[in-house]
Chains A and B, each alone.
Chain A
Amino acid sequence: MGEADAYLDMDLLRFTTAGSVDDGKSTLIGRLFHDSKAIFEDQLEAIERSSRKRGDDNVNLALLTDGLRAEREQGITIDVAYRYFATPRRKFIIADTPGHVQYTRNMVTGASTANLALILVDARNGVVEQTRRHTFIADLLGIKHVAVCINKMDLVGYKEEAYHQIVAEYRDFVSRLENVTELTFLPISALKGDNVVERSENMPWYEGPPLLYHLENVYVGSDANHVDARFPVQWVIRPHSDEHHDFRGFAGRVAGGVFKKGDEVTILPSGFSTRISRILSGSEERENAFFPQSVTILLKDEIDVSRGDMIVKPNNQPKISQDLDSRICWFSASRKLSRGGKFIFRHTTKEAQAIVSEINYKVDVNTLRKVEEIDGFEMNDIGRVMLRVSQPVFHDAYRSNRNTGSFILVDPFTNETVAAGMLR
C-alpha cells in the first residue's frame, strides 16, 4: 500500500477535554494542532491579528480554539466546540468543553460520544474539586479511558515527587468509580511542549510515552458491545418500483453486537421470529453488520416492522419495561425537574411520553455524596429518578450498552432538550 493510500488504515478516536480555567487546556490543544501541523497559515495569521488587538505579547495559541465572537469578546468559552486533527494513524475528534462550575451540561454532552477523557491538572495545585467533578462525569458517561495530564511541570522544576504526589491523590478517589478501566498519567508542559508530541528531555524519570503517542495507540476497539445484538429500525425502505417490487428493507444503525446473513432474529415488540435474508450497505451485499455500521436488513418472512421497533436475537433480548430506573443530568435553565413532570422521551429511534414518577436523590458532584429528600433538579444537577413511559422500552443498562441505555427528555412545550438520561 502506497503512502497515498495510508488513510485506508486510519481509525478514529473521539475524546473530550476538561480542566479548570487556566489549567492550560487551550494551550495544550493549540500545541497538539501546531505540532501535528493542523494549523494553517491563514488561521495563524488570524490569531496573530487577534492577539495584537488584545494586546497580548505572544501569539496566543489558545485563541485558535475559541469559537464565537461573543465569547471571544468576553474571553471565555461557553459551549462544546468540536475540533479535528489527524496523524497518519488516526483521526481525532475533540469535544472541547469549558471548565466552569455552571457548565456540567456541556461536559456531559461532550463526554456522551467520547472514548477517552483527557483531564488536565495544574501541577502546582494538584487534584482540586473540578478534577473530581470532571472525572465523575467521565465515569458516569461510561468513558473507559482517562488520560490525566499533569500540566505545567516546568513550573515545579520537572520534579518527580510533585508528579507522584498528584498521581497518588488522584488514584485515591478514583477507586470509587465504576466504568473507567484504563487510567494513564502523563507529566507534561503544554507551553513548552514536554511530553506532548515529543518525549521530554527534562523528565528522564518518566518512562511512558508522550501524549500524542498515547492518543494514537490507545486501544478502544473492545469498548463497544459486540455481544448483544441490537438493531433499532430507523426507516423502512419500500421503493414501489417495478424493478424492486417486493423489496422491503429495514434501515438503521447497529447499536450493538453482530448480525449475520441467515441469523435467526426476533422483532420487538411483536415478538415474531424470522431469518435475515440479506444485509445491504447501499447496493452492496454484506455478510454481516456490526456496531456502528449503518445498513439495511432484509427478512425472510413478510412481517410488519416500523420505525422504533428493534431487531434482536431470540436468545439474547434486551430488558423490556415501562418503568425505568435512571440517572439523569438536568439541562434546563428555565424549568425545574419535579415529580409528575411530563416529557417527550427519545430512546434509540423511538419516541414516547414519560412522567417522572419518583425523584430519589441527587449527587453533589464536588463531594460525590448523595443528597436525599430533595423536591427537584435544577440546571446541571445529576441524580437518580424513576420514569414511567407510555410504551414498553427495549433497553439495556447504560453500562453494558451506551446506545440502548441512553435517552433524552424533551420539553413538550418549548421542544428543548432538557435532560440526558442513562438507564440502570
Chain B
Amino acid sequence: MTNYNLTHLHQLEAEAIFILRETAAQFERPGLLFSGGKDSIVMAHLAQKAFSPSRIPFPFVHVDTGHNFPETNEFRDSFVEELGVQLIVGSVEDSINRGTTTEESGPDASRNALQSVTLLETIEQETLDACLGGGRRDEEKARAKERFFSHRDAFGQWDPKNQRPELWNLFNGRKGPGENFRVFPLSNWTEMDVWQYAKLEQIALPGLYFAHEREVLERNGSLLAVTDFVTPRENESSATETVRFRTIGDATCTGAVRSSASNLEEVISEVAASRVTERGNRADDRRSEAAMEDRKKQGYF
C-alpha cells in the first residue's frame, strides 16, 4: 500500500498555502506584510507556490521604521523585483513628520511601537482589508491564542475576548465596514520549522542571519549592532565580533547573538541547542512580560 503520510514540514506547508489562498478568495484587497525577515520571506515563498504560475495576487507592504539595516532594504528591493509584485512602503518617518505619532524619547527609545500607527495609516490609505503577517504562535505567550484569521475592529484593535472560534479548515473572514483582518499563515510553525523549511526549499535569506563580523556593543543584556542609530554611550564600548541575527527588525532593538553558524545547516544545529527564545534577544519585549500583549491591542502586527 502506498504511504499517504506527510512530514510535519509538508503538513505545515499545505496548511499555510490553504490559508494564503483563502485570504485571496475571502478578501477584496489583501496585502502581505513584508519586513525582510525570515518569516516574511518564507511566507512570500509559500505565496508564490500557492498561486504559481500566476504572480502573487496582492501587494507587499513594508512598514519602514527608517532604522533598518541597509542589507534589509537591498534584499527587499531585489526580492520584490524578482517576484514582480507591487511594493507599498509605509514610513514611520512620514508619520512622525505628519505629527500622527511622536518619537519616543529617553535612552532606550525605539520605533518599534510606532510601527502600529504607520501600519494603520497604510491600511487606511491603501484600503487593505486583510494583512498577511508572518507571526507565529510560538513567538510569545500572547500569541498562543491568536487566530489564523484575526479580527480587528474599526480602530485596528485586537480584542482577545472577541476572537472568533476557528474549527476544522473553516475560516470566517466576514467583516463590517472599516474592520479588517490580520492573517497568519505560519501560526502553527515554530522558529525551528521555519529554518528547516528554508533549508528544505533552499530559500535564500539575507546575510544578516548568518555569522559575519560586525561592530557591536552590549546594552541591557542585548548585543546591538553599531549603526547610524546605535552608537556607544559613555561607559559603553564597541568591539568587532562574529555574530548573526535570529530575527531582523528595527536595528535599534534587534539583538545579535555570538555565533559561527554560517549556513542553514549550522544555524539549525545552533537553534536546536539554544536555550534562549529568539525574542529573548529583542530589547522591546524585555520591557515587561505583557509588552507584546499591549502592543497587539494597539494594532501591532
| Contact A226 B4, beta carbon cutoff 8 Å | yes
CB of B144 within 8 Å of the partner chain = yes
Interface size band for A: 35 or more
Across the interface, name the chain A residue whose C-beta is closest to B54: A239
| Contact B24 A406, beta carbon cutoff 8 Å | no
Across the interface, name the chain A residue whose C-beta is closest to B11: A12
Which of the residues A81, A112, A252 comes within 8 Å of B145, measured between beta carbons? Answer: A81
Q: Would you give the 0/1 interface string for B30-66, flagging 1 where the beta carbon is closer than 8 Å to chain A?
A: 0000000000000000001111111100000000000
Which of the residues B11, B53, B167, B279 comes within 8 Å of A247, measured between beta carbons? Answer: B53
| Contact A42 B277, beta carbon cutoff 8 Å | yes
Nearest chain A CB to B273 CB, angstrom units: 10
Q: Would you give the 0/1 interface string for A274-317, flagging 1 where the beta carbon is closer than 8 Å to chain B?
A: 00000011110000001111101000000000010000000000
Q: Would you give the 0/1 interface string for B3-34, flagging 1 where the beta carbon is closer than 8 Å to chain A?
A: 11111111111110110011011000000000
Chain A residue contacts of B188, Cβ below 8 A: 82, 84, 93
Chain B residue contacts of A241, Cβ below 8 A: 53-54
Q: Would you give the 0/1 interface string for B152-177, flagging 1 where the beta carbon is closer than 8 Å to chain A?
A: 00000000110111111110101110
| Contact A408 B289, beta carbon cutoff 8 Å | no
Chain A residue contacts of B163, Cβ below 8 A: 79
Bound form: Cα–Cα A283–B48 in Å: 9
Nearest chain B CB to A39 CB, angstrom units: 9
| Contact A294 B14, beta carbon cutoff 8 Å | yes
Bound form: Cα–Cα A346–B14 in Å: 21
Q: Would you give the 0/1 interface string for A172-187, flagging 1 where the beta carbon is closer than 8 Å to chain B?
A: 0000000000000000
CB of A205 within 8 Å of the partner chain = no
Number of interface residues of B (CB under 8 A): 67
Bound form: Cα–Cα A238–B54 in Å: 7
* Interfacial residues of chain B within 265-301, with CB under 8 A of chain A in the complex: 265, 268-269, 274-277, 279-280, 289-290, 293
Across the interface, name the chain B residue whose C-beta is closest to A44: B275
CB of B241 within 8 Å of the partner chain = no
Which of the residues A8, A292, A410 comes within 8 Å of B11, measured between beta carbons? Answer: A292
Across the interface, name the chain A residue whose C-beta is closest to B144: A81
Instruction: Pick from A18-26, A66-74, A144-152, A384-392 the stretch touching chain B.
Output: A66-74
Bound form: Cα–Cα A403–B18 in Å: 13
Bound form: Cα–Cα A42–B274 in Å: 11
Chain A residue contacts of B12, Cβ below 8 A: 12
CB of B193 within 8 Å of the partner chain = yes
| Contact A234 B21, beta carbon cutoff 8 Å | yes
Bound form: Cα–Cα A82–B166 in Å: 12
Which of the residues B2, B49, B160, B172 comes within 8 Å of A417, measured between beta carbons? Answer: B172
Bound form: Cα–Cα A79–B9 in Å: 27
Chain A residue contacts of B52, Cβ below 8 A: 237, 280, 282-283, 296
Bound form: Cα–Cα A416–B174 in Å: 8
| Contact B172 A12, beta carbon cutoff 8 Å | no
Bound form: Cα–Cα A294–B52 in Å: 12
| Contact B169 A403, beta carbon cutoff 8 Å | yes
Across the interface, name the chain A residue whose C-beta is closest to B289: A46
| Contact B169 A253, beta carbon cutoff 8 Å | yes
CB of A213 within 8 Å of the partner chain = no
Nearest chain B CB to A173 CB, angstrom units: 26
| Contact A282 B4, beta carbon cutoff 8 Å | no
Chain A residue contacts of B8, Cβ below 8 A: 7, 10-12, 86, 90-91
In addition to A108-B167, A239-B53, 13 A-B residue pairs with Cβ atoms within 8 Å of each other are A4-B269, A11-B5, A69-B293, A81-B145, A83-B144, A90-B8, A221-B3, A235-B51, A237-B51, A244-B54, A292-B15, A347-B170, A348-B169
Ordered by A's residue number, 16 sampled pairs between the chains whose C-beta atoms are within 8 Å are: A11-B8, A12-B6, A42-B276, A42-B277, A68-B145, A68-B160, A91-B8, A235-B24, A239-B55, A243-B53, A292-B14, A294-B17, A406-B167, A407-B170, A410-B174, A417-B166
Interface positions of B (Cβ within 8 A of A): 2-15, 17-18, 21-22, 24-25, 48-55, 137-138, 141-142, 144-145, 160-161, 163-170, 172, 174-176, 187-188, 190, 192-193, 196, 200, 265, 268-269, 274-277, 279-280, 289-290, 293
